[in-house]
Amino acid sequence: MVSARLRIIGWMLGVLALALTTVVFLTWQVLAARSDSAADAELTHEATKFRAFAGSTTAAGYNRPEELLDRWLQSNLPDSSEGFFTVVDGRAYHRSQGSPPARLDTDAGFVARVAGATEPEYGWIGSTAGKVRYGVIPVRVGSQPVRAQLVVLEFRDVIAQPLEDAAQALAVIGAITLALAAGACWLVTGRVLAPIRQLRSTAEQIGESDLRRRIEVVGNDDVAQLAGTFNTMLDRLEVAFLAQREFVDNAGHELRTPITVIRGHLELMGDDPRDREETRALVLDELARMNRMVDDLLVLAKSERPDFLKLEEVNLTELTVEVIAKARGLADRAWGVDETADATIVADGQRLTQALMQLVANAVRHTTAGDRIAVGSRVVAGGRAVLWVADAGAGVAEGDRERIFERFARGNDQGRTDGAGLGLAIVRSIARAHGGEVRLARQDGPGARFELELPMADEEVRG
Ligand SMILES: Nc1ncnc2c1ncn2[C@@H]1O[C@H](COP(=O)(O)OP(=O)(O)OP(=O)(O)O)[C@@H](O)[C@H]1O
Ligand SMILES: [Mg+2]
């Protein structure tokens, strides 16, 4: 979680820093270009001023260039970022009042260079006060040859100073913004990720034994929805887990009864051969019952697995006839076939027979000799097939109609403890595995009619 937080902050700061650096750099570039052109403009301005002065009537009275230059120097004060000096006969002569940022009139090389100028010259030169934009204006009086120059210096770095200060301030403000953004990001990501952290720790704490814990859902954002989804999943898990536990409890309980009976009889068994024979028969009977129950439990457990069904083409007429043939051997009843569907469905024929035989066994158990029990099959609307087992017995009590399909649920009818209550649960599992359902049909007359409704096409059947 910490690493997710750091990653988010890292990305955010990276992007911000890049943006800020770009802004500062570009500003810097623009300001530098501005300073250069500002120095240039100042230089041109001074040169223009000087030319205007040299062409004026005042200047016409001077015979010697140094007089003209001195006069100009006296009447023109340089800015703090400027300096003027004059060169006469190859040597620095006078300089403007005030102290310039750096002296170039003392630079012999520079003076020698400008002293040679007979035409106006412009250029850049370095100094102790940074870059300098200079201009040399040769001065001629009358028709005399050139022997004096006015040198105008514009200290570009001094001009740029306030702009550089501004750029530096910008950089400092940028750095502070970055730091503040990092702090804000840390807080915000902490708040955003807190529910996820809680989600994780809750998930870690939820063990098999404590599925009741839930994550607190605050607000309606993505994280809240995630927590909600997580809780719904836990609801389902809890229900499934409780059902599983109840199933195991019930199974244990049901198996304990025959064991207790067997044990009791074995303990009390005497030496009398008749007594022994009776006990043996009873023990075998109980063991058979246990065996059946274990088989049923295995079928139920297996029905949850994907390989539960072995699909094939099943002819409904053949299936119906096969079931009634098997049923006849079970008991003395008035067996009959209501009708048969001339259709083929994709299903597991053996499982369907198993389901129908469970229904037949129930029907037998709830009828007496000579009562009618009928099976049948029919194709109904929606591409579905219905198979049924109907009897003329006592029927199912209204309050038991739904309950009897649950595992270990028995009706309160005759208070018999014969079956375990797994038969209808198995029928339902088989029906559902086929994408169908089993139900107790509503009917006017007495008796019970259980119907299996199944899809006929194989897409709906779980293979
Ligand atoms: N044809 C029927 N007529 C009346 N009641 C029925 C009929 N079939 C089932 N029932 C009721 O539904 C209950 C549940 O049936 P189910 O087949 O699940 O269990 P069981 O027959 O009691 O036991 P098992 O099938 O495990 O031997 C029965 O106990 C009975 O009360
Ligand atoms: Mg049964």
The 3 state secondary structure assigned to the chain is CHHHHHHHHHHHHHHHHHHHHHHHHHHHHHHHHHHHHHHHHHHHHHHHHHHHHHCCHHHHCCCCHHHHHHHHHHHCCCCCCEEEEEEECCEEEEECCCCCCCCCCCCHHHHHHHHCCCCCEEEEEEECCEEEEEEEEEECCCCCCCCEEEEEEEEHHHHHHHHHHHHHHHHHHHHHHHHHHHHHHHHHHHHHHHHHHHHHHHHHHCCCCCCCCCCCCCCCCHHHHHHHHHHHHHHHHHHHHHHHHHHHHHHHHHHHHHHHHHHHHHHHCCCCHHHHHHHHHHHHHHHHHHHHHHHHHHHHHHCCCCCCCCCEEEEHHHHHHHHHHHHHCCCCCEEEECCCCCCEEEECHHHHHHHHHHHHHHHHHCCCCCCEEEEEEEEECCCEEEEEEEECCCCCCHHHCCHHHCCCCCCCCCCCCCCCCCHHHHHHHHHHHCCCEEEECCCCCCCCEEEEEEECCHHHCCC
Residues 116-137 have a mean pLDDT of 91
For ligand 1, what atom is nearest to the CA of residue 420? 26
Compute the distance from residue 143 Cα to the ligand 1 centre, in Å: 139
Per-residue pLDDT at 140 exceeds 50: yes
Burial class (CB in 10 A: 0-12, 13-18, 19+), 310: exposed
pLDDT of residue 413: 63
pLDDT above 70: percentage of residues in the chain: 97
Listed range (2-6, 195-199, 249-253, 415-419) with the worst mean pLDDT: 415-419
Q: Does position 53 have pLDDT exceeding 70, yes or no? A: yes
Q: Quick one: average pLDDT of 53-82?
A: 85
Report, as an integer, the average pLDDT of 263-278: 91
Looking at residue 427, what is its pLDDT?
97
Comparison of pLDDT for 102 and 412, the residue scoring more: 102
Judge whether 179 and 17 are in contact, CB under 8 Å.
Answer: no
CATH 3.30.565.10 occupies which residues in the chain? 312-460
Tokens of 299: 């079928």
Looking at residue 103, its amino acid is: R
Residue 396: its pLDDT value, please?
92
Nearest-CA neighbor of 119 among 137, 144, 142, 145?
137
DSSP symbols for 64-130: SHHHHHHHHHHH----TTEEEEEEETTEEEEE-SS--SS--TT-HHHHHHHHT-SS-EEEEEEETTE
Q: Atom 13 in ligand 1: which residue has the minimum CA distance?
A: 410
Q: Which CATH class is domain 222-302?
A: mainly alpha
pLDDT band at 417 (very low <50, low <70, confident <90, very high): low
Supply the pLDDT for residue 330: 93
- The per-residue pLDDT for range 283-309, each reduced to its tens digit, is 999 999 899 999 999 999 899 888 999
Q: Please indicate whether residue 447, judged by its CB atom, sits closer than 6 Å to ligand 1.
A: no
The enclosing H or E element of 438 equals strand 437-440
> What ligand has the least distance to the C-alpha of 440?
1
Q: What percent of the chain is predicted at pLDDT more than 90? A: 48
Mean pLDDT calculated for residue range 354-380: 95
Is 424 near ligand 1, meaning CB less than 6 Å away?
A: yes
Average pLDDT over residues 230-251: 88
Q: How confident is the model at residue 195 (pLDDT cuts 50, 70, 90)?
A: confident
Q: Would you say the C-alpha torsion 309, 310, 315, 318 has a positive or negative sign?
A: negative
Torsion of CA 2, 3, 6, 8, to 10 degrees: -110
Q: Where in the chain is the domain with CATH 3.30.450.20?
A: 2-164
Residue bearing the CA closest to ligand 1, atom 9 = 362
Q: Are 452 and 463 in contact (CB under 8 A)?
A: no
- Cα 164 to the center of its chain, rounded Å: 47
pLDDT at res. 331: 93
Whole-number pLDDT of residue 97: 86
Ligand 1 proximity of 393 Cβ (cutoff 6 Å): yes
- Give the number of the atom of ligand 1 that is nearest the alpha carbon of residue 411: 31
Where does CATH 1.10.287.130 sit in the chain?
222-302
Q: What's the whole-number average pLDDT of the chain?
A: 89
Q: What is the pLDDT of residue 99?
A: 86
Distance from residue 362's CA to the centre of ligand 2 (Å): 5
Q: What is the dihedral of CA 420, 423, 428, 429, to 10 degrees?
A: 80
Residue 428 near ligand 1, beta carbon < 6 Å: no
Q: Which range is least confidently modeled, 59-63, 83-87, 327-331, 385-389?
A: 59-63
- The average pLDDT across 409-425 equals 77
Residue 24 has pLDDT above 90, yes or no: no
Q: Is the CB of 355 under 6 A from ligand 1?
A: no
When pLDDT is cut at 50, 70 and 90, the band that residue 281 belongs to is very high
Residue nearest to atom 17 of ligand 1 (CA): 423
The Cα–Cα gap between 199 and 44 comes to 73
- Ligand 1: residue of 292, 404, 422 to mutate (most ligand atoms within 8 A of CB) is 404
At residue 416, the pLDDT reads 54
Question: Is 165's pLDDT higher than 80?
Answer: yes
In contact, 50 and 74? CB cutoff 8 Å: no
Provide the token pair at 389: 């087992």
In 140-191, the DSSP E strands lie at: 148-155
Residue 463 has pLDDT above 50, yes or no: no
Q: Is the pLDDT of residue 461 over 70?
A: no
- Please determine, for residue 409, whether its predicted confidence score (pLDDT) is greater than 80: yes
Q: Which residue has the CA at smallest separation from atom 3 of ligand 1?
A: 395
Task: Look at 142 and 250; give whichever has higher pLDDT.
Answer: 250
pLDDT-based confidence at 2, cuts 50/70/90? low
Ligand 1 and 419: CB distance under 6 A: yes
- pLDDT at res. 414: 57
Taking the centre of ligand 1 as the mean of its atom positions, its distance from the CA of residue 86, in whole angstroms, is: 126
Q: Confidence class of residue 208 from pLDDT cuts 50, 70 and 90?
A: low
User: What residue owns the CA closest to ligand 1's atom 29?
Assistant: 410
CA of 425 to the centre of ligand 1 (A): 10
Ligand 1 pocket check: which of 364, 366, 424, 438 to mutate, most ligand atoms within 8 Å of Cβ? 424
Compute the distance from residue 410 Cα to the ligand 2 centre, in Å.
9
Taking the CA of residue 366 as reference, the ligand 1 atom at the shortest distance is: 3
Ligand 1 contact via 421 beta carbon (within 6 Å):
yes
423 lines ligand 1 (CB under 6 A): yes
Residue showing tokens 């007496």: 368
Distances (CA, A) of 396 to 152, 255, 443: 119, 26, 11
- Please name the amino acid found at residue 312: E
In the predicted structure, residue 178 carries a pLDDT above the cut 80? yes
Ligand 1 near 101 CB (within 6 A): no
Fold of 312-460: Heat Shock Protein 90 (3.30.565)
Mean of pLDDT values over 452-462 = 75
CA 445 to ligand 1 centroid distance, Å: 19
Work out the average pLDDT over 15-24.
90
pLDDT band, very low/low/confident/very high, at 460 (cuts 50, 70, 90): low
Topology adopted by domain 2-164: Beta-Lactamase (3.30.450)
Structure tokens that stand for 72 in this block: 């100009």
* Cβ of residue 396 lying under 6 Å from some atom of ligand 1: yes
| Model confidence at 1: pLDDT above 70 | no
407 touches ligand 1 (CB under 6 Å): no
Q: What distance in Å separates the CA atoms of residue 354 and residue 423, rounded to the nearest whole number?
A: 10
Is 111's C-beta closer than 6 angstroms to any atom of ligand 1? no
Instruction: Give yes or no for residue 438 having a pLDDT over 60.
Output: yes
